[in-house]
């Protein structure tokens, strides 16, 4: 039995070694084809990172064709995208045409993309660091689903990130580690392609062992794969310890340079440095230059046997594990180890030499198993077809969660932020299935963004029971937060990147785990900017969530300009995959939230951003619901303009009282003055842009909603636009019909003060609106 097991392990390693070579070739050839063989119409370099691919092919071969189970999910480092495409080409999931169009329109994407690639991609990557951290939050969401009975414990998968070591420079990695420690992270592997090279430099030598310390402090198991089996065998020979000590002390940059120079350089350096160790010199002399170069670059990340052993050892439990796999950047390629190889490309002569060394005939470059004998090719093909990945089911489609009617809270004066909390609390009390699927989160501003009531009702999510010490001691507090496995609020520290990465993971539970959650995240509106990269990342892979940002604009006046948002309406308008609203009144908010819960689940839907305010304002009396459809489309006439109106005021959000006061003051002189409530500049602009684009493509398209609205106003009339934010968010309205515009808004940092002073200072008060209308009239 022992002999059979040894033979099976030997056959496994042989197959993985062959796949390592195969992946290195296919990824290199795919990139070469895009840069040297495919027609270039613009003369621009296509790129593709051949060296970054080559450093990780052994790791990906061992992971994908041995360690991965069907329920595991992987985020692949961005620059290894061509290797992932090569894997799926061997598995039959990727077409030759897509590879030949790599980085071209409709071809395989530069970096793995859930939404743009046709191969299975679990998590999009691109902006380095984010694809790593999202796996930790996906693991947390998997535990949430298990605790809530939506996934069976035995079906839990590992959330795995393949990362370049330069990603360890990204601050969001360490924010994620801290959060993971707090939430008792498990079932998460991070595999570091530790080639010690980035775009511009090599990794600082003093970082050796520091990464181990950081991960161990955060509760992770650290498995360091520094040497391969060939090197370890050499260390056991006479003189081997001196060789091991020399490698241990060799600076990263010098090791890389010697790798590039090759066997003769290795020999000269070792003979000089180890001249006092005759046994070591004899060991070195026992290898010719080519064999010596292979020995000295036999690092753990390139040794499939070492990788298999490490993966098998970690698979025995669910402890979070980081594998630090030492590699050579560009392993097996002519520029291996060169400090400039990050964006380097093999020239035609070099790729031909590599092809010939693999026995691949010209014209057979795209053949999956070219260069292998018939028997070896058949064995390798059978091994690939027996991979657990071939038993992975297609990405699941989660069932829709019904959405109930959401009544608006009653009250003559209300703030949209306060109303948001009341609507959510009322929904939580109903026990409706939608309430059970909601998961809320916030970066340490749960109370101040009005999520407290929902948390009181539904509890904090904790794997272990967490009692409320203050409640137990009968100390009065409005926050009665008990932590338990059925809780529905995930408490985060004050790190906005973590917020958006958690929203990304929670917003992908439908396609990733087959069961849908409705994630709601709250944050102070100005601090959206702190997590913009992660927000964009979440939207890029079509994660679905409701982002509630509040307070907005100048409404945090006493706290100064740092807590006042200016350009967030433009962020909402400019972010693909995110629909932005800024309701003025709470009945608008209730209708928008109801719409949003459906939009999050729609086939052609997306995420939603609500810009809310702490400012309480008088609520309007409605005779009917005729306004709702227009409101949900982006805007409606709060007061329709008269047939000969000379002007209209278009506004968004909590500035409504100033608009209404100005309109009242102007009523006698301008009885036909219209008031346009723009609830979503985003939707209005998107519809207008689509209508204009259709004109140039010859497609018939109905008039956009903003055109319909503004056609109620004479073309000669002027527009005053105003919101507590960047004036650019509304000033474009004048371009729809070529009308004159006088834009008001916030275009510089605010300062401390109360709202009357600040609105007067920054020309957002009713006097400013009246003056802007007068300015329009004077221009006649």
pLDDT band at 217 (very low <50, low <70, confident <90, very high): very high
The percentage of the chain sitting over the pLDDT mark of 90, rounded to a whole number, equals: 82
Whole-angstrom Cα distance, residue 592 to residue 588? 6
Residues 679, 625, 520, 688, Cα dihedral to 10°: -40
Task: Quote the pLDDT of residue 140.
Answer: 98
- Identify whether the C-beta of residue 674 lies closer than 8 Å to the C-beta of residue 648: yes
Per-residue pLDDT, averaged over 345-365, amounts to 96
> pLDDT tens across 41-87, in order?
888 889 999 999 999 999 999 999 999 999 999 999 999 999 999 99
Per-residue pLDDT, averaged over 294-317, amounts to 97
Longest dimension (CA), the chain: 105
> pLDDT tens across 695-739, in order?
777 777 788 999 999 999 998 999 999 999 999 999 999 999 999
Per-residue pLDDT, averaged over 255-264, amounts to 93
Q: How many CB atoms lie within 10 A of CB 527?
A: 18
Whole-angstrom Cα distance, residue 516 to residue 439? 11
Three-state DSSP string of 413-436? EECHHHHHHHHHHHHHHHCCHHHH
Quickly tell me which residue has 């808004």 as its tokens: 745
- Identify whether the C-beta of residue 115 lies closer than 8 Å to the C-beta of residue 124: yes
> What is the SS3 assignment for 138?
helix
pLDDT over 90 (residue 557):
no
Task: Quote the pLDDT of residue 396.
Answer: 85
Sheet holding 321-326, edge to edge: 73-75, 159-164, 188-194, 321-326, 221-225
Alpha carbon 194 to its chain centroid, in Å, reads 23
The percentage of the chain sitting over the pLDDT mark of 70, rounded to a whole number, equals: 98
> What is the SS3 assignment for 677?
strand
Task: Quote the pLDDT of residue 202.
Answer: 62
Q: Considering Cα of 26, then 29, then 33, then 35, what sign does the dihedral take?
A: positive
> pLDDT tens across 562-609, in order?
888 999 999 999 999 999 999 999 999 999 999 999 999 999 999 999
Task: Quote the pLDDT of residue 257.
Answer: 92
Q: How many CB atoms lie within 10 A of CB 343?
A: 14
Q: Considering Cα of 60, then 63, then 69, then 75, what sign does the dihedral take?
A: negative
Whole-angstrom Cα distance, residue 639 to residue 625? 15
Whole-angstrom Cα distance, residue 28 to residue 42? 22
Which two structure tokens, joined as six digits, stand for 598?
A: 């459906």
In degrees and rounded to multiples of 5, residue 315 shows phi and psi of: -75, -10
- Identify whether the C-beta of residue 739 lies closer than 8 Å to the C-beta of residue 649: no
């Amino acid at each position: 039995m022992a002999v059979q097991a040894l033979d099976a392990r030997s056959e496994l390693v042989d197959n993985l070694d062959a796949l390592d070579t195969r992946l290195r070739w296919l990824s290199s050839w795919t990139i070469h084809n895009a840069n040297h063989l495919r027609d270039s119409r613009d003369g621009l370099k296509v790129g593709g990172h051949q060296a970054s691919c080559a450093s990780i092919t052994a790791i990906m071969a061992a992971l994908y064709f041995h360690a991965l189970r069907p329920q595991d999910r992987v985020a692949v480092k961005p620059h290894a995208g061509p290797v992932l495409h090569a894997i799926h080409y061997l598995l039959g999931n990727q077409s030759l045409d897509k590879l030949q169009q790599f980085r071209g329109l409709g071809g395989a994407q530069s970096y793995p993309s859930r939404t743009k690639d046709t191969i299975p991609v679990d998590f999009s990557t691109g902006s380095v660091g984010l694809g790593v951290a999202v796996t930790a939050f996906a693991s947390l969401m998997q535990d949430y689903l298990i605790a809530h009975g939506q996934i069976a414990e035995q079906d839990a998968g590992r959330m795995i990130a393949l990362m370049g070591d330069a990603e360890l420079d990204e601050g969001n990695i360490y924010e994620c580690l801290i959060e993971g420690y707090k939430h008792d992270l498990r079932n998460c592997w991070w595999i570091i392609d530790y080639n010690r090279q980035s775009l511009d430099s090599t990794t600082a030598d003093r970082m050796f062992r520091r990464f181990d310390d950081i991960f161990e402090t955060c509760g992770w198991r650290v498995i360091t794969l520094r040497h391969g089996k060939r090197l370890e065998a050499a260390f056991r020979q006479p003189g081997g310890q001196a060789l091991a000590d020399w490698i241990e002390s060799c600076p990263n940059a010098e090791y890389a340079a010697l790798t590039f120079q090759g066997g003769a350089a290795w020999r000269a350096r070792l003979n000089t440095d180890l001249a006092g160790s005759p046994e070591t010199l004899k060991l070195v002399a026992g290898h010719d230059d080519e064999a010596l170069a292979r020995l000295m670059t036999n690092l753990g990340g390139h040794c499939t046997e070492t990788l298999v052993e490490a993966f098998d050892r970690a698979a025995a439990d669910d402890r979070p594990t980081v594998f630090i796999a030492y590699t050579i950047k560009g392993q097996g390629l002519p520029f291996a180890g060169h400090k400039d190889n990050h964006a380097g490309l093999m020239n035609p002569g070099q790729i031909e030499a590599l092809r010939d060394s693999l026995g691949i005939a010209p014209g057979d470059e795209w053949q999956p198993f070219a260069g292998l004998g018939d028997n070896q090719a058949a064995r390798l093909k059978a091994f690939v077809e027996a991979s657990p990945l071939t038993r992975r089911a297609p990405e699941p489609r989660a069932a829709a969660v019904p959405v109930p009617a959401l009544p608006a809270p009653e009250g003559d004066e209300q703030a949209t932020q306060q109303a948001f909390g009341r609507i959510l609390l009322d929904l939580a009390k109903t026990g409706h299935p939608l309430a059970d699927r909601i998961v809320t989160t916030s970066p340490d501003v749960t109370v101040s963004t009005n999520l407290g009531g929902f948390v009181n009702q539904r509890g904090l999510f904790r794997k272990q029971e967490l009692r409320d010490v203050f409640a137990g001691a009968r100390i009065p507090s409005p926050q009665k937060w008990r932590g338990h496995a059925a809780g529905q609020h995930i408490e985060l520290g004050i790190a906005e990147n973590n917020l958006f990465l958690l929203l990304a993971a929670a917003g992908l539970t439908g396609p990733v785990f087959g069961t849908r959650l409705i994630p709601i995240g709250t944050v102070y509106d100005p601090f959206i900017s702190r997590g913009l990269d992660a927000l964009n990342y979440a939207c890029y892979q079509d994660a679905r969530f409701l982002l509630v940002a509040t307070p907005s604009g100048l409404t945090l006046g006493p706290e100064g300009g740092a807590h006042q948002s200016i350009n967030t309406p433009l962020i909402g308008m400019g972010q693909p995959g995110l629909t932005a609203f800024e309701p003025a009144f709470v009945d608008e908010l209730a209708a928008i939230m109801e719409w949003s819960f459906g939009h999050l689940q729609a086939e052609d839907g997306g995420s939603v951003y609500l810009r809310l305010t702490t400012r309480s304002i008088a609520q309007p009396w409605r005779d009917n619901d005729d306004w709702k459809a227009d409101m949900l489309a982006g805007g409606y006439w709060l007061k329709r303009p008269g047939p000969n109106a000379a002007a209209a005021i278009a506004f968004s959000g909590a500035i409504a009282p100033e608009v209404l006061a100005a309109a009242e003051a102007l009523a006698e002189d301008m009885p036909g003055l219209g008031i346009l409530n723009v609830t979503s500049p985003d939707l209005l602009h998107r519809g207008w842009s689509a209508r204009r684009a259709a004109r140039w493509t010859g497609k018939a398209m109905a008039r956009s909603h903003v055109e319909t609205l503004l056609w109620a106003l004479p073309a000669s009339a002027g527009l005053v636009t105003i919101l507590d934010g960047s004036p650019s968010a509304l000033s474009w309205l004048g371009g729809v019909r070529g009308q004159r515009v006088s834009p008001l808004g916030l275009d510089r940092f605010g300062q401390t003060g109360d709202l009357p002073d600040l609105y007067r200072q920054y020309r957002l008060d009713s006097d400013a609106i009246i003056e802007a209308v007068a300015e329009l009239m004077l221009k006649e």
